[in-house]
């Protein structure tokens, strides 16, 4: 080797050493071949670099035994905000799995696999809830249906084994849920509410909350009607949450414990059915006046006899409340014989203590006076009247007593309506009419039992019916109350 080569070799060695010194490359931090590592981010912020992402997820699962026991699951997963990004590098420096785990565990909740249930009531009302097992959703929906549909009839309907109607009875045509319910598998945060069993989910579906309400201990004198009124329930709601009570006539005993939870279902169970029943048709009373008798004298000329009609209806209910009831056939099995009463003196105009029923007979009272959920928007309200159906669209509506029409017109909620004053501090309201008798105006005098309009479904209404209300001294009273008698 000549001196020139030695010289240039020396120069090259010096330059290389200087370059290594300047760049700070230490042999212990430098590897000859690239390696794969994972950058770990929590909510977008880098919290470490690890060699094996699987070991991090395995450690998360291993350390969360308490969560596994609480939710009865076999595996726990990373928080929703945890992400890992694969990186190829020549730098060998990484963080320990334990250090990265410790940065995670006290910052964000861990997750588990489950399902998000979306219940779409309308475009403006969407509800979401989390469940662990999709089978629980099916059970909860079935349990809600059985709260409003007879369980035995529901099972026969599902298995296509319904009894054929021979004389009377009912056949379920369809059962459906009004809302759109969808299910999506996803990771659920353990910080959020998660339904882990069908019992709790069923309770929420029926009561609209995780609290099914309190209890009432029966004391002497209690009735289903009085208990329902005390807790602002209607009698049907009390029967739903107490399946052992078969009807409003069920006898109670002191010490008996009743559920007083407010039924507020988050889904709407729609039942369409055909109903055939024999209905007793109450006889009317025809009054005759004879001035040969002393005023105040009353004599029965002919006794009344109730009739019987076999009625066929198409019925739709939502969560047990009748929203539509239309007669499709009527067969008179026994005709009605009206009672004829002779009264002394001459007939007088004005209100009578004996009221006229405002619709044809037979009829069905589909909603009673008292607390209810509005069948359209689901709000809790006090229903100030009774809903009468079953006589058909366009059937006649009669004045319940003699008096003057104080209001007649149309309003968004009442629809076509008439309001009458009867003297003696009584007023009546007739709502959702299809139309009015020709010639009626505000101030018209109408005799009791006279035609005033036709049954319809105008205004805030779900189907053909009459919403009939009575006001006494400024307060709404139950039209079926003891102080109102109908002829």
Q: How far apart are CA 481 and CA 487, in angstroms?
A: 14
In order, the DSSP letters of 12-69 are HHHHHHHHHHHHT--GGGEEEEEEEEEEEEETTEEEEEES-HHHHHHHHHHH-HHHHH
Token digits of residue 380: 């809790």
> Residues 6 or more apart from 372 whose CB is under 8 A from it?
234, 321, 380, 381, 382, 383
CATH code of 269-486, in short, is 2.70.70.10
Per CATH, the architecture of 214-261 is what? Answer: Roll (3.10)
Quick one: pLDDT at residue 160?
96
SS3 letters across 105-163: HCCCCCEEEEEEEEEEEECCEEEEEEECCHHHHHHHHHHHHHHHCCHHHHHHHHCCCCC
Q: At what angle do helices 198-207 and 134-148 cross, to 10 degrees?
A: 40
Quick one: pLDDT at residue 31?
55
Q: At what angle do helices 53-63 and 97-105 cross, to 10 degrees?
A: 50
Give per-residue pLDDT as tens, 7-65. 445 454 444 444 444 444 444 445 567 889 999 999 999 999 999 999 999 999 999 99
Number of H helices, E strands in the chain: 9, 30
Quick one: pLDDT at residue 350?
64
Q: How far apart are CA 213 and CA 171, in angstroms?
A: 34
Q: What is the per-residue burial (b if ≥16 Cβ within 10 Å, else e) of 344-370?
A: eeeeeeebbeebbbbbbbbbbbbbbbb
Rg (CA), the chain: 38
Give per-residue pLDDT as tens, 235-287. 888 988 888 888 888 999 999 999 998 888 999 999 999 999 999 999 988 88
Quick one: pLDDT at residue 2?
52
Quick one: pLDDT at residue 376?
75
**Residue-level pLDDT, tens digit, the chain, 487 residues:** 454 454 445 454 444 444 444 444 444 445 567 889 999 999 999 999 999 999 999 999 999 999 999 999 999 999 999 999 999 887 778 999 999 999 998 899 999 999 999 999 999 999 999 999 999 999 999 999 999 999 999 999 999 999 999 999 999 999 999 999 999 999 999 999 999 999 999 999 999 988 878 899 999 999 998 999 899 888 888 988 888 888 888 999 999 999 998 888 999 999 999 999 999 999 988 888 888 888 888 899 999 999 999 999 999 999 999 999 999 999 999 999 999 999 888 776 667 778 999 999 999 999 999 988 877 777 788 999 999 999 999 999 999 999 999 999 999 999 999 999 998 899 999 999 999 999 999 999 999 999 999 999 999 999 999 999 999 999 999 999 867 888 8
Q: How far apart are CA 441 and CA 138, in angstroms?
A: 55
Sheet holding 269-281, edge to edge: 169-177, 269-281, 307-318, 321-334
User: Per-domain residue ranges for the chain?
Assistant: 30-108, 111-206, 214-261, 269-486
Cβ 433 vs Cβ 439: under 8 Å: no
């Amino acid at each position: 080797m000549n001196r020139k080569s030695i010289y240039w070799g020396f120069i090259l060695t010096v330059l290389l050493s200087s370059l290594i010194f300047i760049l700070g490359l230490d042999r212990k931090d430098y590897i000859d071949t690239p390696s794969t590592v994972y950058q770990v981010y929590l909510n977008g912020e880098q919290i470490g670099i690890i060699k094996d992402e699987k070991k991090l997820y395995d450690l998360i699962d291993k350390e969360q035994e308490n969560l596994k026991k609480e939710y009865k699951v076999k595996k726990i997963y990373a928080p929703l905000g945890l992400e890992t990004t694969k990186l190829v590098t020549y730098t060998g420096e990484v963080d320990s799995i334990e250090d990265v785990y410790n940065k995670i565990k006290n910052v964000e909740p861990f997750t588990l696999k489950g399902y998000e249930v979306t219940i779409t009531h309308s475009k403006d009302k969407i509800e979401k809830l989390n469940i662990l097992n999709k089978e629980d959703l099916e059970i909860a929906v079935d349990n809600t249906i059985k709260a409003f549909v007879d369980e035995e009839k529901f099972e026969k309907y599902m298995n296509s084994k319904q009894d054929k109607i021979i004389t009377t009875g009912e056949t379920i045509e369809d059962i459906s849920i009004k809302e759109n319910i969808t299910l999506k598998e996803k990771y659920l945060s353990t910080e959020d509410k998660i339904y882990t069993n069908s019992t709790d989910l069923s309770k929420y579906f029926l009561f609209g909350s995780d609290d099914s309400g309190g209890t009432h201990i029966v004391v002497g004198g209690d009735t289903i009607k009085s208990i329902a009124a005390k807790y602002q329930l209607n009698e049907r709601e009390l029967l739903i949450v107490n399946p052992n009570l078969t009807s409003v006539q069920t006898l109670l005993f002191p010490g008996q414990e009743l559920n007083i939870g407010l039924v507020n279902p988050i889904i709407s169970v729609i039942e369409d059915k055909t109903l055939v029943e024999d209905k007793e048709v109450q006889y009317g009373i025809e009054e005759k006046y004879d001035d040969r008798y002393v005023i105040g004298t009353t004599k029965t000329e002919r006794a009344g006899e109730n009739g019987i009609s076999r009625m066929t209806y198409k019925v739709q209910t939502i969560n047990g409340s009748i929203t539509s009831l239309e007669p499709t056939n009527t067969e008179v099995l026994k005709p009605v014989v009206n009672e004829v009463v002779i009264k002394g003196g001459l007939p007088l105009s004005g209100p009578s203590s004996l009221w006229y029923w405002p619709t044809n007979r037979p009829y069905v009272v589909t909603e009673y006076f008292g607390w209810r959920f509005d069948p359209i928007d689901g709000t809790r309200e006090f229903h100030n009247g009774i809903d009468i159906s079953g006589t058909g669209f366009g059937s006649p509506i009669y004045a319940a007593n003699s008096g003057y029409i104080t209001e007649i017109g149309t309003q968004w909620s009442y629809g076509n309506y008439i309001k009458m004053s009867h003297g003696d501090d009584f007023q009546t309201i007739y709502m959702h009419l299809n139309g009015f008798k020709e010639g009626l105006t505000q101030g018209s005098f109408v005799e009791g039992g006279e035609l005033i309009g036709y049954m319809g479904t105008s205004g805030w209404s779900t189907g053909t019916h009459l919403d009939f209300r009575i006001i006494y001294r400024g307060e709404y009273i139950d039209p079926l109350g003891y102080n109102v008698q109908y002829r």
